[in-house]
Structure formats: structure tokens, C-alpha cells
Structure 1
């Protein structure tokens, strides 16, 4: 387990990234993006997507196009967004991480719970409704913000809707851009190294190597009273 100094504060709100934290879903997302970009002549691999995970569809497309030395206009962005969502939902092979639902069901009695994802609203809703029904008070998708991760807007928006203060919030992430988003918003953040090396998550306040370590940490949290 990789740690920064342990927290000396308590929280009343836990804000979760979805893909890679709640759901083992990033391979499916990555495969959909690989296929989508290949159809416009851009060859990438899964790791290219893992490294920019957390960004919304606009951010993903612009970053991949930039890496290929190209520019993405609004028309191509919309075309690729629709195609990627179609491929993801058609070939959806995902599952929640073991133990997460039962733990969140318990935590719900003591904390405000929210989800902040870079994925499109239909994708986020399909995952949350199927695997985490009646758990979260607030769900923010990539389509609900003007600026996706690493911009602070997604987490600031969730915090505003929850009507909580940033010092009482904890973000749970697994992606470098997601960690940056939380820290840019001034919010405490822990990260689990699901698909990237821990070195890429070094801005997080605390880092876990796997979900078993993350679950133990969350189960031991003392709520703010």
C-alpha cells in the first residue's frame, strides 16, 4: 500500500469516480475508443485511453487527435461520441468491484454519496441503475459540465449540489486526470491504482494498490458528526 501522510480530518461526503472505482469497465471503454478512432484512421491502444481516463468525450477526442497531429472540429467530435457510445453499449462487458455495493449501502447511512464520471449520461445511468440502485444522491456525467477533468468543474458541481463544504468532502479516484480534477478543486482525494502505475497518481493524498485496500480504508472512515 502506498501512502501519503494519513488524514487528520473527518468527512460527511464521499464522491466517487465511476469507471475503475465503482465498475471494472475501463477495458470495455478503451476497446470502444480503439475501434472508434480506427474508423477514422487513428491507431491507439488501451493504455492510451487509460492514461487520459476521466476526461469527458470531448477531452478524449481532442487529446487523441492532438497526439496524432490533427484537430477535431465539432462535427467529428459529435460523430465519434455517438459511435463510441454505440459500441460501448453494444459490447458492454462490465462488473462492479467485489464488495463495493455492500459497503456503499452501509456508508449511505453515514455519508452523502455522489458519482462524478467523465462518461456520457446514458452510459453512467445504465451502470449506476443496474449495479448501484438507490445508493447515490447526485450523479454528474461528462455531459453535465462544460469543462471535463482535469478541470475542477465536475467535482465543484457535485459539491455545490450536495451543499457541502470542500473540507468535508473526500474524492475516490483511479485516474490521473480525475485526481488532478479533485486537487484542482481543493478537495481531499484518495486513489486506487486500477489501470495505471501509482506514480501517475502521486497528487492524491493517499494511494492504494488495489480495491481490497481501498475497501478497508473506506470501511474504517469515521463520519463527521
Structure 2
């Protein structure tokens, strides 16, 4: 049985906070479809560089980046709304877990450690995912359209830890993108990055970078202890 303690002088692991897209769920291929569709609707083609730039971003910034890279002047709100609905349609068909991700969340819950889902995605997309999961898998959920300042601002993570009543300095956040890492670090969390492409985060951006399949509760506790012990 896992003991939720850290090194002498360090606080216990009070909560584990999970990003959604690309961290727990293999939803990026679904975003590929909707993002390419938006570019096509705007009269262009989504480049691989533009696709890389919008990972982890919010809808308005994503629409703005795509329009700018295509050299198109269009209504950002309309583009964002189109992207949201197309992505919702894709999510409704089913969003698969990344390998071992479900087991990681379940192991945290079995250890009695609170969990939160902290995502840049809008509530309409998150609800499509939550309907596919067992009820109560996350103690709280913070969505991108439920905060004033989305990632990379720390508001979403501070909102989650506030709801849980925990100290963000005693929490671990699992992320996969620079905006998400910046948000969690800004909130004071220890960040463990679990990108599908480890080379994409070669320098870690301030996070500990490990393969998702190696994440265990004991390892998360040890990471926190190493930082604060």
C-alpha cells in the first residue's frame, strides 16, 4: 500500500492534477482533423509547424494563429466556434485513453489522493469525454472556458487546488505541452511531463519528463520529495 508521505520537511502529496488532451487521452488525432478542417474552410492548408504551435492552446489563440499563418482575415470568434463544434462532433465518436493513462488515474484514486482534471478544452468537449468515463473519476474538473485566463496562465490550476482545499506546492500536475507546464509551474505545482514525443520537450520547460507508462504514485511522491526535501 502506498504511503502518502514525502521526505522529512516536505509536505505530503495532497492531489494529482491531470491535463486532458494529449496527457490522459489520445485526442490529438481528433484535433488534427478539426484543425485541418478549419484551415481548409479558411482556404488554406494546416502546416506541421502551425499544428505544433497550437498544441495546448485555447480556442481563440488557436484560431488566431491559424488565420495569421494562412494570411487570412476572418472573424476569430466565428473560427473558434466552428472549431469547437467540429471537435465536439469528433469527441462524441469516442476519445481513447493513452496507454496506461487510465491505470495511472485509478492508482491515484485507490491511494486516496484527490484528483482533478485541468484542461484548456471547453466544457462542451470535456462533457463528451466525461460521459465515456466512470462517474467520480475526478474530484473536480476545471475547463478552459470556466476561467478568465486560460493556460499558460496559472488560474486553472489555482482554481482546481482551491476547490480541493490543497496547497498547490504539495501537488503534482501531469502535462504534455509548454503552455500547460507553464500554467502548473506558475501555480506552484511540481510538474511531470508525459508527452507522447519526449523529444518535443527535450529541455522539460521546468518539468520532470518521463514516459507515461513509468508513472506510479510512489514515483510521484518521490519527485515531490526530491523537490521539497
- Regarding TM over 0.5, the answer is yes
Indicate if the aligned counterparts of 1:118 and 1:142 stay in contact, CA closer than 8 A. Answer: yes
Residue equivalent to 2:205:
203
More moved, 65-74 vs 168-177:
65-74
Per the TM alignment, residue 23 of structure 1 is displaced from its structure 2 partner at its CA by: 0.7
**TM-score between the two structures when normalised by the length of structure 1:** 0.81
Residue equivalent to 1:98:
99
Per the TM alignment, residue 73 of structure 1 is displaced from its structure 2 partner at its CA by: 3.8
Q: Matched residues in 2 for 1:11 and 1:72: separation?
A: 46
Q: Matched residues in 2 for 1:196 and 1:60: separation?
A: 23
Quick check: 1:54 aligned with 2:56?
Answer: yes
Indicate if the aligned counterparts of 2:17 and 2:118 stay in contact, CA closer than 8 A. Answer: yes
Q: Matched residues in 2 for 1:117 and 1:54: separation?
A: 9
Alignment equivalent of 2:177, drawn from 175, 178, 182: 175
Indicate if the aligned counterparts of 1:13 and 1:113 stay in contact, CA closer than 8 A. Answer: yes
- Number of residue pairs aligned between Structure 1 and Structure 2: 214
Instruction: Look at both structures and tell me which one has the larger radius of gyration over its CA atoms.
Output: 2
Q: 1:127 to 1:87 in 2, by over 3 A?
A: closer
Q: Matched residues in 1 for 2:203 and 2:120: separation?
A: 17
Indicate if the aligned counterparts of 2:59 and 2:80 stay in contact, CA closer than 8 A. Answer: no
More helix by share: 2
Query: Over residues 84-112 of structure 1, what are the superposed CA-to-partner deviations in whole Å (9 max), with x where a residue is unaligned?
Result: 3344236x453112333233223214211
Q: Matched residues in 2 for 1:37 and 1:169: separation?
A: 38
Q: 1:155 to 1:70 in 2, by over 3 A?
A: farther
Indicate if the aligned counterparts of 1:20 and 1:195 stay in contact, CA closer than 8 A. Answer: no
Quick check: 1:43 aligned with 2:45?
Answer: yes
Residue equivalent to 1:4:
none
Unmatched segments (≥5 aa) in structure 2: 1-5, 225-229
**TM-score between the two structures when normalised by the length of structure 2:** 0.80
Query: Over residues 11-36 of structure 1, what are the superposed CA-to-partner deviations in whole Å (9 max), with x where a residue is unaligned?
Result: 11110001111111111112211112
Query: Over residues 164-183 of structure 1, what are the superposed CA-to-partner deviations in whole Å (9 max), with x where a residue is unaligned?
Result: 11211111001111111112
Alignment equivalent of 2:131, drawn from 129, 136, 147: 129
Alignment equivalent of 2:165, drawn from 141, 163, 166: 163
Q: 1:162 to 1:211 in 2, by over 3 A?
A: same
Per the TM alignment, residue 75 of structure 1 is displaced from its structure 2 partner at its CA by: 4.0
Indicate if the aligned counterparts of 1:176 and 1:201 stay in contact, CA closer than 8 A. Answer: no
Q: Per the alignment, in what secondary structure is the counterpart of residue 34 of structure 2?
A: helix
